[in-house]
Structure 1
Amino acid sequence: LTPEERAQKIAKAMRKQSSEVKEKWESLNAVTSNWQKQVDKALEKLRDLQGAMDDLDADMKEAEAVRNGWKPVGDLLIDSLQDHIEKTMAFREEIAPINLKVKTVNDLSSQLSPLDLHPSVKMSRQLDDLNMRWKLLQVSVDDRLKQLQEAHRDFGPSSQHFLSTSVQLPWQRSISHNKVPYYINHQTQTTCWDHPKMTELFQSLADLNNVRFSAYRTAIKIRRLQKALC
């Protein structure tokens, strides 16, 4: 080839390589721009998740502080049980919006998977901890309310707790599931529906059945009944 032909060939090859470099450069810029968008989007998602978790943690700490300040049900005055029931129900209503924040946090966490993102170990532990604390808070509120309602039922103004002193050892007064009282003899390990004093009274009245005349028999039984009832 002549020097002019070699120069033209080299120039043509350079133009071709220059065009290829330009295409690769533009492709690289497009990939880089797309990657930058993904990184920005991922960073935004992570910031939203961390912010939501911090907000949820603050609400949980406030609610847990109230829960930790509760006195044991056994230490409460009987007259204050109804007031504590109402306060516990009001507290359960107050913390209800926390459930929405828990759902938001979990939703934000689930949005990371399509972006091929995995939260750090610390963030994952914090997320699990928040979910567990919320469940424990709900359980503690429900248990507290149940204990208060049972205590109010068993010891409140409408209860029959004061009648527990109507029997002495070895007898004990108890209440069945259908609200009917029954009596336990711990010495003989037996139970009965009738009050021990009533059983004794019936037996003593039966002992008078050998009185001959009905008028006397009735009068003596009534007198014994009067003495038993004071």
Structure 2
Amino acid sequence: MSLAPSITIKGSASIDGTALFAPVSLTLDAGRWTCLLGGSGVGKSTILRLVCGLPTGAEFHGTITTSDGGALPSRVAYMAQDDLLLPWATIRENVQLGARLRAEPTDHLDLDEILARVGLSDHATKHPAELSGGQRQRAALARTLVEDKPVVLLDEPFSALDAQTRALMQELAVEVLQDKTVLIVTHDPSEAARLGHQIAIMTPNKLMTCPPPATSVPRPVEALETLKCQAALMRLLRGQGA
């Protein structure tokens, strides 16, 4: 697998001539986690889909470049807000979907380990309709993690989980995605404060940054530095400055 590149997104987007977001310049550092926050409808998910090369419904005026000059789509694992599980397939089949579509062999040891780590070993032969929303989201996360791509895009990947499970899945994701270039969209300041090597806040008019704590991720939820960063992010989101 190729090394994770840095990615630079520069430009603006509009829908039917109406601006979706103003010109932004955002660089995703290679092998690091970038957290992107902002209100609903400001274009955060559009940014993810643009990096993936997926349709967005918006017109993008700008460029997306990589530090190594390589194309992105084949090197990206993408987890959307919806779990997008195939209803007729088992959870095990859904998790290994990418490899099956590419007609590649599946490493069953890795697959079984990931299913165990997300707490779905006992549900591997079930179908999505038999699982709770949180279990389905964990299945979608497992499918993303087993892809082993150098660039990983996550759209609210832990939103359906209870607090304890969310913390465990955050820690698992950081462990598995070590040295990957990760962009995570979240509405949760505490999540960004815990996971971000870089934290950006997107508004319709500009992109702001907030310095993360100078500690390794995932940071303890209760650490003073994490709580201070969370508070600063909340102030920025409410338009009160850091």
Using the size of structure 1 for normalisation, the TM-score is 0.18
Using the size of structure 2 for normalisation, the TM-score is 0.17
Higher relative contact order (CA 8 A, sep 6+): 2
Q: Name the structure where strand makes up a greater proportion of residues.
A: 2
